[in-house]
């Protein structure tokens, strides 16, 4: 019997910065910078993007105006190879 594939689930990401000119979402699910996901600026400077992710743990960061940034709303973090931290999104 074949193993069922894990069904991706839509995940919403948000980052608040009214003065930002561009915000991108990057992570292990985008091969980091290779396939960055542009985020869209909404009311009050809240940038949003939705991504379909398979169940599991996914590491991510934001790139705000060319600078790597943490997600201030994320409480689950792991050290990365560059002396900083990656944010972790758990999809169940």
Q: Which domains does the chain have, with CATH numbers?
A: 9-91 (2.60.40.10)
Ranges in the chain, pLDDT < 50: 1-2
Could you tell me the two tokens for 70?
């943490």
**Residue whose entry in the numeric block shows the structure tokens 């608040």:** 16
pLDDT given at position 4: 55
pLDDT given at position 1: 46
pLDDT given at position 81: 94
| CA quadruple 85, 16, 66, 91: dihedral, nearest 10 | 50
| CA quadruple 4, 30, 82, 84: dihedral, nearest 10 | -80
Helix, strand or coil, per DSSP, at residue 58: strand
Could you tell me the two tokens for 12?
């919403």
The predicted model scores a pTM of: 0.90
Please, where are the H alpha helices in the chain? Answer: none
């Amino acid at each position: 019997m074949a193993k069922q594939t894990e069904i991706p689930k839509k995940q919403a990401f948000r980052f608040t910065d009214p003065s930002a000119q561009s915000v991108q979402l990057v992570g292990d699910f985008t091969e980091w910078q290779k396939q960055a996901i542009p985020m869209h600026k909404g009311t009050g400077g809240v940038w949003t993007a939705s991504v379909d992710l398979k169940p599991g743990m996914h590491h991510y960061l934001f790139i705000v105006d060319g600078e790597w940034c943490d997600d201030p709303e994320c409480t689950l973090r792991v050290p990365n190879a560059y002396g900083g931290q990656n944010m972790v999104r758990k999809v169940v």
